[in-house]
Amino acid sequence: MATTALIAKVPEAEAVVGALRTRYDAAAQAGVPAHITILAPFMAPDEITLSVLRRIRHALHAVPAFTYSLESIGRFDATAFLAPTPAEPFVSLTASVVAEFPAFPPYGGLHSGIIPHLTVAHGDAHAAAVAATELESRLREHPPISARCGIISLLENASGRWKEMHTFELPARL
């Protein structure tokens, strides 16, 4: 079923995580760049209207652009990820969009709470453990990943591959 997702792309992380994501994360294989999810799944692509885009823009404007780093590795059962510091602006972005679109809870309502993260491996506990070990080694070899979140992308997968549908610029400051 076709859907959309709101994400913050993290091109600054590709050199460190790109090959691992290609190997261990089906989303990367389907065209999703390194990112931190703001809200997924979201509505069907054919439901995205100019009105919806205006509402998304309004919700996202609650949080100004910000810088963050990705230095710590986290794990869920079958997932290895990088955690952003600070995490709070990502939580605020998600909360603001969910307040505007309450029919679309984070993670489809499968998990309680919001834990911002950049997925490196997903789907298999053993593969996630292997990826976490490789990621730890890569982080020692590279400088800390510093990034700026100033644009949120709306992706859609109607063709079976994820493609950018629209972008939203965060305000410079409130």
The confidence score (pLDDT) of residue 111 equals: 72
124-153 burial by CB neighbour count: b if 16+ within 10 A, else e? Answer: eeebbebbbebbeeebeeeeebebebeebb
The confidence score (pLDDT) of residue 110 equals: 80
Distance in angstroms (rounded) separating the CA atoms of residues 92 and 78: 26
The confidence score (pLDDT) of residue 174 equals: 62
Distance in angstroms (rounded) separating the CA atoms of residues 81 and 44: 27
Using alpha carbons, select from 24, 30, 28 the residue that is nearest to residue 14: 28
pLDDT mean across residues, the chain: 95
Residues in the chain, pLDDT under 70: 174
Q: What is the pLDDT of residues 101-117, one digit of tens each?
A: 999 999 887 877 899 99
Look up the pTM and report it. 0.95
The confidence score (pLDDT) of residue 108 equals: 81
Q: What is the pLDDT of residues 141-161, one digit of tens each?
A: 998 899 999 999 999 999 999
